Structure 1
Amino acid sequence: MYAATIRYHEGVFYVICEYLGTTTNQPSGVVFKSTDPFDDKAWSDPVKFIAGKIDPDLFWDDDGKVYVATQGIIIQEMNIDTGEMGPIHQLWNGTGGVWPEGPHIDKKDGWYYLLIAEGGTGEDHAVTMARARNITGPYEPSPYNPHLTNRGTNEYFQTVGHADLFQDGNGEWWGTALATRWGGNGAYFPMGRETVLFPMTWNTGEWPVMQPVRGKMSGWELPEQSRDIPGDGPFNDDPDVYDFAEGTAIPRNLVYWRVPLESSFAVSDKGLEVALGRNNIAGSPGGPEPAAKAISFIGRRQTDSTFSFSVDLSFTPTAAKQEAGITAFLTQYANIQLGVVSENGTLSFRFNSTESQNEKTALPTAWTGKPIRLGIEMPNPSEYVFSVSLASDDAGKIDIGKASAAQLSGGTGSFVGTLIGVYATCNGVGEGLNCPEDTPKAYFNRWRYTGITQYISATESVSSEEHN
């Protein structure tokens, strides 16, 4: 699903999005509605609509009509209850940058302000604007374009674009955008595109003035921080302290890659139970049907420039190629793995990265059958260090392998950031979707993730606790 937009109108929350890669090879639009966004059961079934482009936005005009604007900067009237779409109106082509997309419309002071992204999602990314007296145009470009960009600069935050604007409870204007922390002159950015917040001023009848995105910014007064809000689950910046007690739910910040097979994950009396998948992390051997693309992986987003992660693994392989471990995972084509694997009747630690393909270290005989602590640390934003120890002897930690963050930066995952988590696989043994019936499961306990620092420039950092 691509570039969801959330809107609030007359007591109802709306989320509009589009599926890509459908069987018809055409984007398929969906709108979900809820009066209580914190209750999963309160969300409606989707209202489906025909979508010719991505990046949909919803706009309600003063006469009650609803419009959907999409990539290519087109707009259509929509029946929000049935999904019926009106004729297409081309609004604007942008200022000449490639891929004009991500349109949002605000009506202010008698003007329809059109905000778009253009220049692609890389270093030329920019935010531009135009306005008109009628929603279908003609639109006149702003003389101040681009309103927001870091292209052509040496700023640490790059790829700034795909913005949206809003007013806070005090009537002050803010914007959000996507940006990338560009380490090593663009060599490494494993968290991918992140959301940034910037203040702005928007005087009556004028164009908005947006503050450039930097690591240190000043702006309007922020609301007092409070955890007394509806909903459940951890806050984005909380550390992970998960022991997976029997009967507890899998924490909400843990996510999958593709839809997992049924019964792949459970919380049991032994901890987080992960059934070995026939596919390895790369998705091999795979198959044409969607279920054949599933992998047994679960993880959380890397949310800090440097961090520490560890988890205890209880796993007793009984046949060759059975494997379970930890991974820093960008995509199925870009990931770093450290696993316990059975091969030729012996157990080994297998470290796999671009620099070190299938590097094996024998598992000490005295460790056999005991819980093993697997760890990932980032001593700096450019490097991952993978380690092992007995769960009962953290002081005996052994570094198994190091890998550059560059291999988890861009490439096949330029839109997304790295996930930190665990996996289990029988590496293709078995038939169809499943490993052999007698394949053991892997159990994970004492899951810990702690953010250490957030870099705000190439040379400056603050503690994650202070930043958050």
Structure 2
Amino acid sequence: MSTTTATTSNSTYTNPILPGWHSDPSCVFVPEENNTFFCTTSSFLSTPAIPIYASQDLTTWKLASHVVTRRSQVPEISNATSQTQQDGLWASTIRYRKGKFYLLTSYVSMYPDFKFTGLLFTSSDIFDDAAWSEPLRFQIGDIDPDIFWDDDVDGQAYITYAGISQVPIDLETGETGTPYKLWAGTGAGLPEGPHIYKKDGWYYLCIGEGGTELGHRQVIARSRKVSGPYEGYEANPVLTNAGTGEYFQTVGHADLFQDKEGHWWGVALATRSGPNWRVYPMGRETVLFPVTWEDGEWPVLGAVRGTMTGPLPVPECETPPGDGPYVDADDDIDFEPGSGIPRTFLFWRFPNEESFAVSPAERPYSLRLLPLKSNITGSGAAEGSDADPAITLVTRIQSHTYFTYSVDISFAPTKEGEEAGITLFLTQYQHIDLGIVLLPSSSSAPSSHEPKALKPHLRFQTTLLDDLNTPATQNVTVPDTVAKALPSSRGSEIKARLKIQAIDDTHYTLSATLLDSSPGSKFEFTHEVEAVLVSGGTGRFTGALLGTYATSNGGDGGTPAYISRWRYNGLGQKIERIDTRGEDA
């Protein structure tokens, strides 16, 4: 392992640095951790929750840990309070102080009223999931908590939150003082995502405004006291792509930090949609920009583009620390005996762990899925119910514009409605599925005393239980459901390769090929679908997930499905409105 403290000249890099659904970023530089940067992003209802990524050069990132891996930490994620697809763990702040990492966030419930609870997690080993504490819960007046210690005065810790207000907090008890208003922003509305920095005797308050859509922007104010009054910068906004033709839109919700050479940097969320803001299945992603901040002056934030330059730091190590996967890594997973659920995998809410088994004795080198009655469509338990709303769904983030994802499925359904397949998943209200399902045969003609014969079918269908929320999508044609009977196989079990491909940045194809059909009964299926169907709508805060599922569709079937040869191959990123294929966003 070699080390260096050399200062680099400007280097070229590309955005996003955390591709795919990685919204509301917050980052910290920690010299005590071998000069490593750590960033976190929102997770909403996905688990394990609140990912932490590590890097030493700001462009190569590996998963360090997840903050929430135990149901006891945030039981709200899995019970009946999670009634909307935007509930869950929203924007976080990560900070480091005296050997300890602090992660602040809020659990948000949007039904029946908008409510939020402050949560503070701590860890002394950021590379260990289990080291993250149970949360210290505290009262908060709004979302997006930030923490700041006034070490130059009395060491008091302050929580600042959307609004923009502040309270002192006791980090032992969670007790907070009387809240007071800091700043109303510049008038663009929805002031949120605050962060406080102290520099050259000034307290700087940097916030997002204008909502996390096309009007998103970053503004800044400063004061001689942490409690204000704060005076806004006359040249605000300091960061935005609003009103431009840039491919990266919705830029805002920024956080600023320094590297080992004293250079300033910023991260923000952004959407690769162009000004039409129509097709953006990967949702809000994390982008990096250089910052110039002279003594006593206001910071100058670099404009967010696909191709960037800046004084990138020289890494201390040849590879980022930790044993986690790279953020944009491919999947080549065969579910070997002795292995567990890969760290790239995500569930929607906490899973029923009995529904998933890696390399079971009866079928090594596979992932066994046991269906629950719960379909992947829905909102969980009914209001007031104690039922676990777990669904048999396991996914990964779409982290490339162009990709191929496939799995092999072995499935022998025996009861009507049993289903297993793959999904392009945004929320439980918005997904596109291709599955093997046992349905009545349309070719049989039973008498009045006999039920129709059941036969395995391949079924393509979309679930869109809400409109897509943007005028640009009102003329989109939602594809019809297609169900085709499968030919006889060599045995009772259907063996098929199911695949999702991004053929360009606006369309997917879903396809199926039987792997063990009888001679002369070759079966193939391909269906194209628009990516706008998983852009915005009920998932305007999230992004596309790719995965596999099993369900009895409300019945009492319990036939397992076996998933093998899980493959995800990233094929490239589109970072400009006109890419190498000549396609305009």
For residue 77 of structure 1, the aligned residue among 137, 155, 168 is: 168
**Is the CA contact 2:196–2:204 (under 8 Å) kept in the aligned structure 1?**
yes
* Change over 3 Å in CA distance of 1:10–1:240 after alignment to 2: same
Structure 2 CA distance for aligned equivalents of residues 347 and 225 of structure 1: 56
1:407 deviates by 0.8
TM normalised by structure 2 equals 0.74
Structure 1 CA distance for aligned equivalents of residues 380 and 156 of structure 2: 50
* Change over 3 Å in CA distance of 1:103–1:179 after alignment to 2: same
**Is the CA contact 1:308–1:451 (under 8 Å) kept in the aligned structure 2?**
yes
Matched, 1:457 2:580: no
Matched, 1:251 2:346: no
1:398 deviates by 3.0
For residue 226 of structure 2, the aligned residue among 128, 135, 138 is: 135
State the partner residue of 1:466: none
State the partner residue of 1:40: 129
Gaps of 5+ in 1: 431-435, 463-468
**Is the CA contact 1:101–1:118 (under 8 Å) kept in the aligned structure 2?**
yes
State the partner residue of 1:31: 120
1:391 deviates by 4.0
State the partner residue of 2:438: 342
State the partner residue of 2:513: 389
State the partner residue of 1:443: 562
Deviates more, 1:126-135 or 1:255-264: 255-264
For residue 274 of structure 1, the aligned residue among 369, 372, 384 is: 369
Matched, 1:414 2:540: yes
1:54 deviates by 0.5
State the partner residue of 2:414: 318
Q: In angstroms, what is the RMSD of aligned CA positions? A: 2.0
Structure 2 CA distance for aligned equivalents of residues 54 and 227 of structure 1: 38
Matched, 1:294 2:413: no
Residues 131-170 of structure 1: pairs in structure 2 closer than 5 A: 131-170=222-261
State the partner residue of 1:53: 142
Gaps of 5+ in 2: 1-88, 441-453, 465-477
Structure 2 CA distance for aligned equivalents of residues 285 and 321 of structure 1: 19
Structure 2 CA distance for aligned equivalents of residues 324 and 260 of structure 1: 17
1:292 deviates by 4.1
TM normalised by structure 1 equals 0.92
Matched, 1:365 2:461: no
**Is the CA contact 1:183–1:381 (under 8 Å) kept in the aligned structure 2?**
no
State the partner residue of 2:427: 331
* Per-residue Cα deviation, 1:140-181 (whole angstroms, up to 9, x for no partner): 100110000000111100000000000011110000000000
State the partner residue of 1:433: none
Give the strand-richer structure, 1 or 2. 1
Deviates more, 1:220-229 or 1:114-123: 220-229
1:409 deviates by 0.5
Structure 1 CA distance for aligned equivalents of residues 379 and 311 of structure 2: 51
1:224 deviates by 3.9
State the partner residue of 2:29: none
1:243 deviates by 0.4
* Change over 3 Å in CA distance of 1:183–1:154 after alignment to 2: closer
1:4 deviates by 1.3
Structure 2 CA distance for aligned equivalents of residues 314 and 426 of structure 1: 16
State the partner residue of 1:242: 333
1:2 deviates by 1.1
Structure 2 CA distance for aligned equivalents of residues 227 and 389 of structure 1: 42
* Change over 3 Å in CA distance of 1:274–1:193 after alignment to 2: same
Amino acid at match of 1:425: T
